[in-house]
Amino acid sequence: MKYLLSIVLSLVSLCITAQTWFVADIDTIKQSGYYNIQLDKRIIAVSNDIDFSDIRINDTIGNEVPYFVRAQTPVRAINEFVSYELESNTEKDSINTIIVKNENDENLSRFSIFLESAEVDKYVRIRGSNDLKNWYIVKKQENITYSGFKEGNNEILIVDFPQGNYKYYEITLSNNQPSPLKVLKVGRFKNSNIYAQQTEIDLGKFTRKDSTDKKTYIRFTDLPYNYRLNKLTFFINSKAEYYRKSEIKGKDYTLRFDLSSKGANTVVLNSARISPDATIVIDNKGNPPLTIDSIKAYALNRYLCAYLEEGQCYTIIIGNKDISPSSDYDIKYFQEEIPEDLQIVKTSNFQKIEDKEHSHQRDKIWIEEPIFLWSIIIIVGLFLSFICYKMIREMKKKEEK
């Protein structure tokens, strides 16, 4: 009886077990050439490998498209830098105030700020004006400590903001030390896209528990995907000074850090996965628990470089074991020759696919046919009913005796 049930369950599992994978479309291009394909954060999350070795690109008729993964390191300043005219550049205590003049009424959405390297936490806020009197908020204050890269003895901070064409832009830089930064110039890279940019990820609401062991436990229980994160910033509301030893415990890592009223409370992660069972632990010791208003998460933008043909439609396939990518594309030998500063194309229509929806990819064997499976289930059901009937009759006979 036990073996019969095991066989039935095994047969049924053939029908209900389905391979799961994910797909996304690459946005249409207008001209053939090499492109940097920016991966949706969900693609990065569902990919099993940090080097994206389970990702494949297919064209319209299913042909495999070779690619290589762009390195995480940023592009150097290889293109022409265009400086903007500065109306003023003042320093006071830990604050730099720079007013940029948009002389040609350009549509602006990014500033590249050159400054002398400084090992401090940096914040930026941007306002816009057309008359230097009435100012309007463009970008609220944000931590940009890790937004750029180094160039010799200088840092280049990359600040993105909503596109606009104000006549003047006021950039307010602040840091966590009593002295200001040394700002050299503000401008843009002509026809350039800067890597090492990070995008904010919505982790949803978090749950917290202030335990009797004098520790606070925080989890992101509503996560739809196990995102790979590169930065977490804690926004803490406390009138009193504080310093707490803390850690993040993931499935295969533990990262220790400090939360302090003297710091930016930003934790740098190395593309670590954050899942619903990952836990942030804050050791309060004898102090009252901290009030955490919010926690912001950021992930590094990642790119695949591939040659795309005009008029073709391309699909990215992630994690399909039956359509695995090649492990050795020729294009990898030419990475140094393909320009880094290519046009960026994005992905869309990300979706989850179940194998049962694509059962035409292979023919079912006879034991997988529904008629056979239902026949087995009915036979087993009748057999069990017969056994139960016999057991009840035997019990009644014993009671009569």
* Beta carbons within 10 angstroms of residue 84's beta carbon: 20
Segment 81-115, tens digit of pLDDT:
889 999 999 999 999 999 999 988 888 988 989 99
Distance CA 118, CA 322 (A): 50
Structure tokens at 387: 């056994």
pLDDT higher than 80, residue 396: no
Q: At what angle do helices 2-16 and 370-400 cross, to 10 degrees?
A: 150
pLDDT score recorded for residue 305: 92
pLDDT score recorded for residue 397: 67
Structure tokens at 352: 């989850």
Q: Are strands 198-201 and 254-260 parallel, antiparallel or unpaired?
A: unpaired
Nearest C-alpha neighbor of 27 from the set 325, 316, 228: 316
pLDDT score recorded for residue 400: 61
pLDDT, average across residues 365-371: 58
pLDDT, average across residues 172-179: 92
Longest CA–CA separation in the chain, Å: 109
One-letter identity of residue 341: D
Whole-number percent of the chain with pLDDT over 70: 83
Segment 133-175, tens digit of pLDDT:
999 999 999 888 766 667 778 888 888 888 899 999 999 999 9
Lowest mean pLDDT among 3-12, 187-196, 349-358: 3-12
Phi/psi region, residue 244 (left: phi>0; alpha: psi -120 to 50; beta: rest), is beta
